[in-house]
A and B are shown apart, each in its own frame.
Chain A
Amino acid sequence: MTRVLIVDDSLTDRKLAGGIITRAGELDVHFAVDGQDALDQIELHLPDLVVTDLNMPSLDGLALVKAIREQYPMVPVILMTGHGSDAIAVEALRTGAASYVPKMRLADDLVDTVQQVLAVSHADRGRARLMRRLQRQQVEFQLENDVELIMSLVQFLQDAARGMKLCDDADRVRLGVALQEAIINACFHGNLEVSSVLRETDHHAYYELAKERAAISPYAERRITVSVSISALEAVFVIQDEGPGFDPHSLPDPRAPQNLERPSGRGLLLMQTFMDEVRFNERGNEVTLVKRRRPSSPEQESP
Chain B
Amino acid sequence: MSLHRYFRCTQEGTAFVVEVLRPVGSLAEEDVMRELDEIIAATAGQPTCKMIIDFHQTAYFGSSLLEALRIIWTKIEDREGRMALCNLSPVGKEIVQIAKFDHLWPVCETRAEALALMQ
Chain A residues close to B by CB (< 8 Å): 147-148, 150-151, 170, 173-174, 176-177, 180-181, 184, 188, 199, 203-204, 207, 210-211, 254-255, 257, 260-261, 263, 266-267, 269-270, 273
Residues of chain B within 8 A of A151, CB atoms compared = 25
Pairs across A and B, CB under 8 Å, 7 listed: A147-B25, A147-B26, A181-B62, A184-B64, A204-B33, A207-B33, A261-B74
Q: Is B39 an interface residue (CB 8 A)?
A: no
Q: State the Cβ distance, A20 to closest chain B Cβ, in Å.
A: 33
Complex: A263 Cα to B61 Cα, angstroms: 16
Query: Are A176 and B60 within 8 A (Cβ)?
Result: yes
Residues of chain B within 8 A of A270, CB atoms compared = 62-63, 95, 98-99
- Find B25's partner among A173, A180, A260, A263 (CB 8 Å cutoff): A180
Q: Is B73 an interface residue (CB 8 A)?
A: yes
B8-16, B46-54, B100-108: which lies at the interface: B100-108
Query: Are A266 and B63 within 8 A (Cβ)?
Result: yes
Query: Are A147 and B29 within 8 A (Cβ)?
Result: yes
Query: Are A207 and B27 within 8 A (Cβ)?
Result: yes
Query: Are B25 and A184 within 8 A (Cβ)?
Result: yes
Interface of A is mostly: helix
Query: Are B95 and A177 within 8 A (Cβ)?
Result: yes
**Told that A176-B60, A255-B99, A261-B70 touch, could you supply 17 new A-B pairs with CB distance under 8 A?**
A177-B91, A177-B95, A181-B62, A184-B64, A188-B28, A199-B67, A203-B27, A207-B27, A207-B28, A210-B28, A211-B28, A257-B103, A260-B103, A261-B73, A263-B67, A266-B99, A270-B98
Residues of chain B within 8 A of A199, CB atoms compared = 67
Complex: A61 Cα to B90 Cα, angstroms: 24
Q: Is B18 an interface residue (CB 8 A)?
A: no
Complex: A261 Cα to B101 Cα, angstroms: 9
Q: State the Cβ distance, B38 to closest chain A Cβ, in Å.
A: 14
| Nearest A residue (CB) for B104 | A260
Q: State the Cβ distance, A200 to closest chain B Cβ, in Å.
A: 10
Residues of chain A within 8 A of B74, CB atoms compared = 261
| Nearest B residue (CB) for A147 | B26
Query: Are B28 and A181 within 8 A (Cβ)?
Result: no
Residues of chain A within 8 A of B73, CB atoms compared = 261
Q: Is B59 an interface residue (CB 8 A)?
A: yes
Complex: A257 Cα to B64 Cα, angstroms: 20
Q: A147-B29, A211-B28 are in contact. Are A170 and B91 (CB under 8 A)?
A: yes
